[in-house]
Amino acid sequence: MKSFEYAIPSSLEEASSLLAQSWGETEILAGGTDLVTSLKQQVTAPKRVVSLRNISSLKGITVQRQSVRIGAMTTLADLTANSAVKEHFPALVKAVQGIGSQQIISAGTVGGDLCQRPRCWYYRNGFGLFGKQGDTSLVLEGDNRYHAIFGNEGPAYFVSASSLGPALIALGATLKISGTKGKTREVAAREFFRTPKSESERETVLRPNEILFEITIPIRGLKNATYEVRHRQGLDWPYVTATVSFALKGGTASNASVVLGHVAPVPWPSAAASKALNGARIDASLAAKCGQAATEGAKPLSGNAYKLQLVKTAVKRAVLDAAAAA
């Protein structure tokens, strides 16, 4: 690990002022579960690390009548222990449980989960965000079993590593972002993620000196569930996840949202799957149809066509789990 300055500001405004205006010169430290390893492996080598741990306003959950507000530095453990979160957002709790390590869940934060960098093995081994060696794409020429099947026109082929992203999009969450001089802005979770087109961009709409500080999830009485398909039960990233949410009245769904995880450089909302749910009676055959619809538009690479079947299964089971939930 290269040496760096450590800054520990006590307000968001101060934190923003300590961040550089271009990526890579400074990094934000939340729970450290991703950043510290990235520093060791020199995937990033900033001049300064800005810790958010002294900004007390970033921690904690506020439950209101129509929404739940979550500070970005709230740990995943505290998120899933919250009774309102458990009651209204089982999809979120399930997404956290999938992480499979109490150590990551107790140190990792909600904001950190959303801002973590891709797990692509070419990226983690020093070949850049797009996994290139000269003009050669190591992803296309090499082993791409864990890479994207949607949104993979290039140069980005990695998958978004966020566990919470798909669930927050399906639940209609809003994210609050703080910039310099105390300026704040809001973006829908759906708009927060983006696919970088060059190495000087990152995977979200955050500017280098902006900080994600709060997540608001509306309480809308939606049925919701997350289903993960994974290689093993222990700590690992899933192959494919699906979060679904919908209103259910007399067995018929409306306001449906189906969002896939680990299939694209961003969490991937499936319009076709959502459409299949809206106005339909939820049963096993509809759930299967919805899973089939979720694969529409997929373009697998040489080694990851297996993910198509996993998408079908994950969506089908998430739909049935959501419908069965109390």
Partner 1 sequence: MSEKLKSSQVPGVSRRGFLKGLGVSGVATGLLTGTETPTEAAERGSPIKGPGEIPITLQINGKKHQLSVEPRVTLLDALRNRLDLTGSKKVCDRGTCGACTVIVDGQPVYSCSMLAVEAEGRAITTIEGLGTAENMNPVQKAFVKHDAQQCGFCTPGFVVACTAFLKTNPNPTLEDARTGLGGNLCRCGTYAGIMDAVLDAAKMTKGGA
CA neighbours within 13 Å on the CB side: how many for 15?
Answer: 28
Near partner 1 by CB under 8 A, which window of 43-51, 137-145, 303-311, 318-326? 43-51
- Tokens of residue 260, six digits: 């896939």
- Are the C-beta atoms of residues 111 and 73 closer than 8 Å to each other? yes
| Of 1 and 271, CB closest to partner 1 | 1
User: Of 14, 176, 218, 296, which one interacts with partner 1 (CB under 8 A)?
Assistant: 14
Q: How far is the CB of 7 from partner 1 (least distance, A)?
A: 5
SS3 sequence of 283-309: CHHHHHHHHHHHCCCCCCCCCCCHHHH
User: Of 44, 53, 205, 247, which one interacts with partner 1 (CB under 8 A)?
Assistant: 53
User: Of 26, 162, 195, 224, which one interacts with partner 1 (CB under 8 A)?
Assistant: 26
Q: Using the rule CB under 8 A, is 49 a contact of partner 1?
A: yes
User: Of 28, 29, 79, 206, which one interacts with partner 1 (CB under 8 A)?
Assistant: 29
- Tokens of residue 246, six digits: 């919908």
Report helix, strand and coil shares of the chain as percent, to nearest 5.
35, 25, 45
Rama region for 81: left / alpha / beta (φ>0; ψ in -120 to 50; rest)? alpha
User: Of 12, 19, 114, 229, which one interacts with partner 1 (CB under 8 A)?
Assistant: 19
Tell me the sheet residues that pair with 254.
247
Q: In what order do the strands lie in the sheet with 67-71?
A: 61-63, 67-71, 211-218, 174-178, 184-188
Site string for partner 1, 189-228 (x = CB under 8 A): -----------xx-----xxx-------------------
Tell me the sheet residues that pair with 214.
71, 176
Q: How far is the CB of 113 from partner 1 (least distance, A)?
A: 14
* Count of chain residues binding partner 1 (CB under 8 A): 56
SS3 sequence of 167-190: HHHHCCCEEEEECHHHCEEEEEHH
Near partner 1 by CB under 8 A, which window of 24-32, 240-248, 293-301, 311-319? 24-32
Helix 306-324 to helix 284-294 angle, to the nearest 10 degrees? Answer: 140
Query: Dihedrals φ, ψ of 324, to 5°?
Result: -80, -20
| Of 97 and 292, CB closest to partner 1 | 97
User: Of 74, 75, 195, 270, which one interacts with partner 1 (CB under 8 A)?
Assistant: 75
User: Of 24, 128, 142, 154, which one interacts with partner 1 (CB under 8 A)?
Assistant: 24
Positions in 241-260 near partner 1 (CB under 8 A): none
| Of 66 and 198, CB closest to partner 1 | 198
Site string for partner 1, 79-98 (x = CB under 8 A): ------------------x-
Give the angle 93-88-163 at the CA atoms, nearest 5°.
30
Positions in 127-156 near partner 1 (CB under 8 A): none
Rama region for 251: left / alpha / beta (φ>0; ψ in -120 to 50; rest)? left
Q: Using the rule CB under 8 A, is 178 a contact of partner 1?
A: no
What residue ranges bind partner 1 (CB under 8 A)?
1-10, 14, 16-26, 29, 32-33, 36-37, 39-41, 47-49, 51, 53-54, 75, 77, 97, 100-104, 106-107, 180-181, 200-201, 207-209, 233-235
